[in-house]
Amino acid sequence: MGPHKEGLLRMSLLDGIGSPADVRLLDQAQVGELADEIRGFLVKQVSRTGGHLGPNLGVVELTIALHRVFDSPRDTLVFDTGHQSYVHKLLTGRQDFSALRRRGGLSGYPSRTESEHDVVENSHASTALSWADGIAKANELRGHGDRYVVALIGDGALTGGMAWEALNNIAAGQDRRLVIVVNDNGRSYDPTIGGLAHHLTTLRTTRSYENVLLWGKRTLRRSGPPGRFAYEALHGLKKGIKDVVAPQGMFEDLGLKYVGPVDGHDEASVERALRAAKAFAGPVIVHVITEKGRGYTPAEQDVADRFHAVGQIHPETGLPVAPSRFGWTGVFADEMVRIGRRRTDVVAVTAAMLQPVGLAPFAKAFPTRVFDVGIAEQHAATSAAGMAFAGLHPVVAVYATFLNRAFDQVLMDVALHQAGVTFVLDRAGLTGDDGASHNGMWDMAMLAVVPGLRLAAPRDEATLRDALRTAVDVDDAPTVVRYPKGAMGAPVPALEDVDGIDVLARHDAPAGATSVLVVGVGAMAATALETAEVLAAHGLRVTVVDPRWVLPVPAALTKLVGTYDHVVTLEDGVVDGGIGSLVGQRAREAGIGTPVQAIGIPRTFLEHATRDQLVGELRLRPQDVARDVLTALGGQA
């Protein structure tokens, strides 16, 4: 019986853990039993709710060791990205996972509202070291120099430039008690790439250092009382191996102590390494080797990392409870391969997310034309600008929320230089379960200020394929194509084209009826159609249109606004400064007095919940939108 199955049968040790203090009371045998129970708990619970399974199975012993060595919350634990914090939640008294990532339940990331043991809620990567540096500086200035700050960061997150900016500053604070734990599992979503990855691989694969030293000591013991020459020889052997294995040029030359590599699934070894790091009383890096999905056979045998984040699965097999429907990402993946066959200058860029953003088929078809830059969206954008200058057309595929991190590069490196770069934003709009940091709702309002940038919001498969083909044909400005998470709905055909604006529906009414133009942006086109039916039932003359390319606001749409009594815009982005706001602004600049009612997402951070729950809460359902329009019209029917 595997450890995860055994854990499903008995949970007595885990039931007795109410705080980290309880973890410190366990003996070594009990620690091993607790680790087995936690793995069983995670497989059982996450298979029901969905969530980040693989990363948490990989840090069980490491998290236990952290809480046995350090005293949270007096000592501060900072989790980079935070999706690997489930074990931390269990050890800090949060064991009700029945509503994980659902409204009213536990967040999938650290959350200050849940526990005093949680600090950083932002689930964007490569930030933990900067947080830790700031906390350590504050501890020093406020007279809390005996408190430790511990940052847990993955090897993937270390590919982000912000992490190296932080390391440069951390190294300057030699008296600050800061421990950096590098959780090295060789991947983020995808295998970690770049010079750092190669260096860590060297360390990982030359772990014979301690074994050779042990052999040398045993040889000396067997050969009798050693003389000075034997000791000098052993010292030379130790120094020679250390020069090869230890990362002198990367960490110790910065002034950072280095401990490791350590087997991350040997809790006692991790504990010893952490206690050694703690004794330095200064900045230390502890290099821990772990295996993502440890203890769960389907995850251990999976090479595509499908268990990084899962929906509901059968715990015995790891297979989805319900097969996923063909979605937006799949259409993008297919069209990219088609474009790649037609255009040899088109290349793809990913920030450590080849599989999630749908670039794996392109990479298989054109392996030399894909560039994985690691978790480095800023570098991705500027590198793409360089590629464009040199004659390529890069397609940078990222989650919409992660483009936030590269805004300056989009503005100053791509747009300023009129570079033909296409950004494809997956998971745009409301994503829901992952909470505030993952909702891709900021992109349209943010990118609206970029001169020359063109942005498309396709509504279905046909318009997505067309938008991609159009975008890569633009060679003198940035283009953006955004689409939502999940399954793709039914096709939404146009009745006609009016100067590039798709007319999706017309509802006639008696002469003299109020005329309403409903503008559906991207995925909100279906909502616009249903809203129009409700409004038409109240005697209004309603037309539904989809501009498809919404930035800059098409002149034809501005002209169309002037032919109606009232205009409603629907978007799944921030409404302040969004598309509706811009439509109204352009109408006023053209001397058009038609009121434009912009409906979208308010400027706020949204708690984790399902997309449907958020749509209801934000009054974005067709019946809610129609009611708000009727209210704006003074209750006209």
Among all residues, which ones are annotated catalytic?
292, 377, 405
Residues listed for the chain: 637
70 contacts 148 by C-beta, under 8 angstroms: yes
85 marked ligand binding residue:
no
What's phi and psi for 51, nearest 5 deg? 150, -170
439 marked ligand binding residue:
no
Strands (E), 489-565: 496-498, 501-507, 515-520, 541-546, 549-551
Q: What is the dihedral of CA 254, 278, 180, 186, to 10 degrees?
A: 110
125 marked ligand binding residue:
yes
483 marked ligand binding residue:
no
124 marked ligand binding residue:
yes
265 marked ligand binding residue:
no
Q: CA 214, CA 217: separation in Å to the nearest integer?
A: 5
Strands (E), 450-540: 454-456, 479-482, 496-498, 501-507, 515-520
171 marked ligand binding residue:
no
156 marked ligand binding residue:
yes
185 marked ligand binding residue:
yes
The upper half-sphere exposure of residue 456, i.e. CA atoms within 13 Å in the direction of its Cβ, equals 25
The backbone region for 19, taken as left when phi is positive above 0, alpha when psi lies in -120 to 50, beta otherwise, is: beta
For residue 517, what are the β-bridge partners? 543, 567
157 marked ligand binding residue:
yes
Omega before residue 595 within 30° of 0, cis: no
Sign of CA dihedral 256, 261, 265, 269: negative
Q: CA 144, CA 148: separation in Å to the nearest integer?
A: 9
Q: Which residue has the tokens 């990982």?
A: 204
DSSP 263-297: ETT-HHHHHHHHHHHHHH-S-EEEEEE--TTTT-H
* Binding-site annotation, residues for thiamine diphosphate: 83, 123-125, 156-157, 185, 296, 377
* Binding-site annotation, residues: 83, 123-125, 155-157, 185, 296, 377
* Binding-site annotation, residues for Mg(2+): 155, 185
